[in-house]
């Protein structure tokens, strides 16, 4: 299943969402260029340079860890969902609040992960915690939204409308594949919970969910 677009229109260009996507791409390219491969991602040395470890956290790695992804597949999946849902969440609260919301979501997810495994020496990287907050915020704002999705089944394919809660389940399955252990996965769940709660305080605009068939024309 490959999500294409949702049925909630936006009024403003999602500047922060686009800049966050670019920041993740640039961070990945920089990490790979110093060591690693495009497909498998940064090597162990670069992961330790940019990743956050429980036993040696720094201000630098607290933030760099949220922008360096472990592989091209993880990067592509994370950014696809950020683009799909970030534009509407940004539209609901404005660019400045959205940026703070995104960073705070990443910090909450990472903090929860490290608290569950405080002796870990494995570097934590990935944008999934922050994006989890974005998805949680979107689901709270638009629980009845639908996502136009390309479905591939062996040699057949088609485009169908999928409820956003189903797409949330797809994202959770993907994170189960990419998450580096149970603490990381729980941290991402914490990001979703943060998004659900925080969006109530930050969102100033919420649109009515339009009729699905009309919205996708």
| Domains of the chain with bracketed CATH | 13-144+165-215 (1.20.1540.10)
Helix (H, G, I), strand (E, B) or coil at 144: coil
Average pLDDT over the chain, rounded to an integer: 86
CA distance 201 to 182: 29
CA dihedral of 52, 58, 60, 62, whole degrees rounded to 10? 50
Q: Are 86 and 134 in contact (CB under 8 A)?
A: yes
Residues 109/132, Cβ–Cβ less than 8 Å: yes
Name the residue among 75, 202, 183 with its Cα closest to residue 136. 202
| Burial of 211 per CB tally in 10 Å (0-12, 13-18, 19+) | exposed
Q: Quick one: which of 164, 155, 153, 174 has its CA closest to 215?
A: 164
Sheet holding 156-163, edge to edge: 2-6, 146-153, 156-163
pLDDT tens-digit map of 63-122: 888 998 888 988 998 999 999 999 999 999 999 999 999 999 999 998 898 888 888 788
The reported pTM is 0.89
The least confident of 91-95, 129-133, 163-167 is 163-167
> Which of 61-70, 97-106, 153-162, 172-181 ranks highest by mean pLDDT?
97-106
Give the integer Cα–Cα distance in Å for 165 and 16: 24
Pairing type for strands 156-163 and 146-153 reads antiparallel
Q: How far apart are CA 98 and CA 93, in angstroms?
A: 6
Contact between residue 69 and residue 36 where contact means Cβ atoms under 8 Å apart: no
φ, ψ of residue 20 to 5 degrees: the values are -65, -40
pLDDT band of 44, cuts 50, 70, 90: confident
């Amino acid at each position: 299943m490959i999500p294409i677009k949702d049925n909630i229109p936006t009024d403003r260009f999602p500047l922060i969402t686009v800049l966050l996507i670019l920041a993740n791409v640039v961070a990945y390219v920089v990490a790979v260029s110093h060591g690693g491969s495009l497909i498998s991602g940064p090597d162990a040395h670069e992961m330790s340079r940019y990743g956050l470890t429980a036993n040696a956290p720094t201000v630098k790695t607290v933030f760099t860890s949220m922008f360096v992804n472990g592989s091209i597949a993880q990067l592509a999946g994370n950014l696809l969902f950020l683009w799909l849902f970030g534009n509407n969440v940004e539209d609901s609260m404005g660019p400045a609040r959205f940026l703070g919301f995104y960073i705070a979501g990443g910090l909450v997810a990472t903090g929860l992960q490290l608290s569950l495994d405080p002796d870990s020496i494995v570097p934590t990287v990935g944008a999934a915690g922050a994006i989890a907050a974005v998805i949680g915020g979107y689901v709270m704002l638009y629980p009845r939204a639908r996502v136009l999705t390309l479905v591939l089944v062996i040699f057949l394919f088609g485009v169908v409308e999928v409820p956003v809660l189903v797409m949330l389940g797809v994202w959770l399955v993907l994170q189960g594949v990419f998450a580096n252990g149970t603490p990381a996965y729980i941290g991402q769940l914490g990001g979703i919970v943060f998004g659900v709660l925080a969006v109530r305080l930050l969102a100033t605009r919420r649109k009515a969910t339009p009729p699905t068939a009309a919205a996708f024309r």
